[in-house]
Amino acid sequence: MQAILALEDGRIFRGKGYGAPAERSGEVVFNTALTGYQEIFTDPSYAGQIVVLTNPQIGNYGTTPSDDESSKPYIEGLVTREFSPVSSNWRSTQVTDEYLEKNNVPVITDVDTRAIVRHLRANGVMRGVLSTASKDADALVAKARSIRKMDGTDLASVVSTKVQYEWSSETERNETGDKLLPQAIAPGTQQMHVVAYDFGIKQNILRMLARENCRVTVVPAKTSAAEVMALNPDGIFFSNGPGDPEPLHYAQQNVRDLAGKAPMFGICLGHQIFGLALGGKTYKLKFGHHGANHPIKNLGTGKVEITSQNHNYAVDPESLDDATVAVTHVNLNDQTVAGLKHKEHPMFSVQYHPEASPGPHDSHYLFKDFRKMMEEWKK
């Protein structure tokens, strides 16, 4: 099966097709993680994006439900150098080709992913079309140019849960079916109730909260502050998610309404929402941060964390009020703001994924910090 990746600037890449015989469009971004392709597929933050994986060999360990970060893949399409139609791993329950075909995700392989990445780094993220159904490259370029840009688009409410639901250590099981009990929690420690806004939340965030002995109530993106407070939370969590944070005025207002009423923790899109709610501004990065090896400096401890990241927007540090907000973490690759905390209210956020999945575990401590903040608040 032939496949074509067409970019809006007219650049064409031809290769072999796998996955679904389909045509999909979106922003074309690249991810530098060496493992965890299934977690990348199923991260809702990738809604509306075609993903180029820089690791040259993809699909070789298959797929398993245990590695899903949501109920389905959210990527629009996949671009790889080599794609394996077979799998070799004891955990695999389905080969990657069948998995993506079942979920209507087309794949282009046997292309020079290095050239694509260099093109995106030099020219920035751009719109594209990945097709295994058409051979008309000029028509595909025209389609790429007609795609609506992600700027100003609210994708969070699209991928968010439509109904409220509960999550706890009692509902989470490992791949052998055994319950995953809270880790590193002293016997008799009080369970905390966290209300989590779902803007595209990853499953491992819920696992990490549950392992800190938290009962989590997940609510839709547009749930009001009053409805959240009616649930009597010990803490409130604002999740990751796709798209531009600026049009999410409802979420920004909820942050303002909830500030000081309960401890709050934000990750990625949640971090950007915090920045906007506290009077700051956001801007779009040239080609985003997508990978599992980004160095972040904790300005409080001086330590450097290697982190997993997936976002296209950042908070402008010059727009923040120094009297109200403190920058706590900085990305050492480009000095972008990677963490914030309020100087009066118990609320903090980070511009990366401390739950990883995929990625290193350097930042797991942030979930413990959130629990400690809730414990101190209850006192």
Indicate which residues carry an active-site annotation.
268, 353, 355
Q: Determine the residue type at 275.
A: G
**242 neighbors 273 (Cβ within 8 angstroms):** no
Sign of CA dihedral 25, 220, 267, 335: positive
Structure tokens at 276: 């906007």
Query: Can you tell me the distance from the alpha carbon of 124 to that of 294, in angstroms, rounded to the nearest whole number?
Result: 19
Query: Can you tell me the distance from the alpha carbon of 110 to that of 348, in angstroms, rounded to the nearest whole number?
Result: 43
Query: Can you tell me the distance from the alpha carbon of 35 to that of 103, in angstroms, rounded to the nearest whole number?
Result: 21
Return the residue matching tokens 């120094």: 322
Name, in order, each residue with C-beta under 8 angstroms of 106's C-beta and a sequence gap of 6 or more.
3, 17, 18, 19, 20, 21, 22, 23, 24, 77, 78, 100, 130, 131, 132
β-partners of residue 130 are: 5, 24
**224 neighbors 230 (Cβ within 8 angstroms):** no
**245 neighbors 313 (Cβ within 8 angstroms):** yes
β-partners of residue 102 are: none
φ, ψ of residue 215 in degrees (nearest 5): -90, 125
Backbone dihedral region for residue 83 (phi beyond 0: left; psi -120 to 50: alpha; all else: beta): beta
**53 neighbors 83 (Cβ within 8 angstroms):** no
| DSSP structure class, residue 196 | E
Query: Can you tell me the distance from the alpha carbon of 298 to that of 327, in angstroms, rounded to the nearest whole number?
Result: 10
φ, ψ of residue 367 in degrees (nearest 5): -70, -35
Sign of CA dihedral 279, 280, 281, 287: negative
Structure tokens at 179: 């319950």
